[in-house]
Amino acid sequence: MKRIVKIYKKFVLVVSVAIATIATSCTDYLTIIPPNVVVQENFWHTKDEVNGMLATSYIKLISTDAIQKAIVWGELRADNMTYPANYNRDIKYIVEASILDENSFCNWSIFYEAINNANLVIEYAPLVLDRDPDFSEGDLQVVTGEMLAMRALCHFYLVRTFRDIPLALVPAVNDSELPEYAQVHPLVALDSIMSDLNRAENMVMPSGNFTTKAHNYGRITKNAVLAMKADVNLWRAAFAAYYEGESELVQPGDVQRYYDLCVQNCQDVIANMDRKLEEEWEKHNRPQTRYPYNLLQNEGEPDDIEDTRVSTVYNQIFGFQNSEESIFELQITDDNSTNGANKGIVNMYGTDGRSGTVVVPSGFLNKNYTSDDLRAFTYTNAKNLTGTGGSSSSSSSEPLDIVIAKYSAKESPATNYRKADEFDANWIIYRRTDVLLMMAEAMVARPSSSTADFTEAFNIVKAINTRSRMDTTNIVKPLQLNSYLTRDASLDLVMKERLLELTYEGKRWYDLVRKALREKSTNGILFVADKLSSNSSVVKTKMSTIDGLFFPIYINELRYNKLLKQNPAYEDEDSSTEMN
């Protein structure tokens, strides 16, 4: 947690609690002050000050630092991402499993800053009830719920990345008095995270009850909390399976219980979303063609789609933003990008069709996608499954690496890109297909999984996969149910579809780590090293233990907090090596 030295104090008096409003031009009206100032008598007097502190937590999550780490931690070590020829050393070392504790991506401070900000709101916002008549009990409940969920989300990022983490559950009032916390077992951390989410669930705003899309999808609502709970339960089940028989923290039946809870969480999210869709359709008297799981569908004739490779689904979810399939996405505007609040996606994935810090590995598309899967040509700038990427949208005709186009492409196919100075792609945390696939994974991974579970999981995957094909009535390599009626085959199917659908959204590496925990072995994920033209055997050796799948604790954290212990996989690494 190091030293949390930046907290935002003042917020414009006309601030809206909507993140779409509060996150714009933040450097114009937010003043950075030390943490101890925000607990003195000159603060916590008005509703606007509470809203400003609320906004700060969201703003920290859309910062360049936070988004870059969400991408690196959740994707970089997997099979779908690598470094380009003009590489960043820290990125290269991570891909090659040569991670030292001085690597900049081991620095977790931005997430603990967001946690501390949430803790300050939870602790001190109640003071405003007696100081500002415009701040009601209802306002306090919603704000507290969001900050509990924010604290849970940030801790969740950390436990998936570092495993053994300190829990920060009280605010750091003075930088010099910041307590030193010892790390806790991952199951203890996940229990604490779930406790926060359980409290938050009935405090946050019901999904859809804000007045604008940006509010409903840009702030943490009930559906967002339920999606987080589902995700956390998946990880509780995976860690419980790994530690079963080895830790008193795991009781008989825990694995089954956590998977069952995940399924229920997902069903609740989907039911809430479906109910809201029904209300909207009835309100606007719009007859709707029903598709499986109420998924958006690509519009247009199959021949036209095949010729143009236009995916209207991509356009709605990633181009226009805040689609009806969204659950929670961080709102990013032109102003936020211009004033430096967010350059994370731009820096990592590039812009204007040019590669950023990471690119698509050679052979990845051909190995995983079929030639009629629109996602191969909307999530990247590939012209075909086996060749290189297309040229940028500039006048240069020089062929480039295959570029990650998800988010940066304004529309499909990936030929029209957002510029670095007009970047407004929201960063999606959860959406409908993610929740459906979490539900499918839990159904087939639980010990009680049955033919009915395998069938339901297959139907979920088939619905998501089918809607992404150029001609849904004439599919290349169609899925066949009888091939996926065992636990292992069904799990492979679900995990593969999570790759195809959610790649580059900060999910893939976490999915693989969860798989390794469930199997108590890294053997099933070592194939990720095959993306390297050399040193793949070295990478596989370094990833041969579960410890090696998690990041080392940053060297400065070890210096400042003597209670922290380094991940055993990195204790013998030479941390004096220069990282330049």
Kindly state whether residue 369 falls inside one of the protein's structural domains: no
Question: Which of 232-236, 253-257, 556-560 bottoms out in mean pLDDT, i.e. has the lowest?
Answer: 556-560
Query: Is 442 a member of any domain?
Result: no
| Range in 26-35, 92-101, 201-210 the model is least confident about | 26-35
Q: If you average pLDDT over residues 384-396, what whole number do you get? A: 63
Provide the pLDDT for residue 284.
82
Q: Which residue has the higher pLDDT, 282 or 13?
A: 282
pTM exceeds 0.75 for this model: yes
Residue 494 lies in a domain: no
Nearest to 255 by CA among 524, 516, 518: 518
Q: Of 516, 451, 448, which Cα lies nearest the Cα of 485? A: 451
Q: Is the pLDDT of residue 31 over 50?
A: no
Query: 15: pLDDT confidence band, cut at 50, 70 and 90?
Result: very low
341 with 22: CB under 8 angstroms? Answer: no
> How sure is the predictor about 287, in pLDDT bands with cuts at 50, 70 and 90?
low
What is the C-alpha to C-alpha distance for residues 126 and 139, in angstroms, rounded to an integer? Answer: 10
172 in a structural domain: yes
CATH number of the domain enclosing 188: 1.25.40.390
Residue 426 lies in a domain: no
At 423, the pLDDT band (50, 70, 90 cuts) reads confident
Residue range 171-192: mean pLDDT, rounded? 84
pLDDT in tens, 505-547: 999 999 999 999 999 999 999 999 999 988 899 999 999 999 9
Mean pLDDT of 433-439: 98
301-338 pLDDT, tens digit each: 999 999 999 999 999 999 998 999 999 999 987 554 44
Total count of domains within the chain? 1
Q: Tell me the residue range of the domain where 11 lies.
A: 7-217
238-249 per-position pLDDT tens digit? 999 999 999 999
> Are 341 and 26 in contact, with CB atoms under 8 Å apart?
yes
Q: Provide, rounded to the nearest whole percent, the portion of the chain with pLDDT above 90.
A: 77
In a domain? residue 530: no
Q: Where are the alpha helices (DSSP H) in 315-471?
A: 334-338, 344-349, 364-368, 375-378, 432-445, 451-466
Q: Is residue 434 part of a domain?
A: no
User: Residue 29: pLDDT above 60?
Assistant: no
Q: Is residue 36 one of the residues assigned to a domain?
A: yes
Name the nearest CA neighbour of 538 among 553, 526, 524.
Answer: 526
Q: With 70 as the cut, is the pLDDT of residue 5 above it?
A: no
Checking 24-33 for CB contacts under 8 A at 24+ apart, the result is: 24/333, 24/335, 24/336, 25/335, 25/336, 25/339, 26/55, 26/59, 26/336, 26/339, 26/341, 27/339, 27/340, 27/341, 28/339, 30/56, 30/59, 32/6, 32/7, 32/8, 33/7, 33/8, 33/9
At 424 the pLDDT is: 87
For 180: left if phi > 0, alpha if psi spans -120 to 50, otherwise beta; the answer is beta
pLDDT at residue number 178: 61
**Mean pLDDT within 123-144:** 97
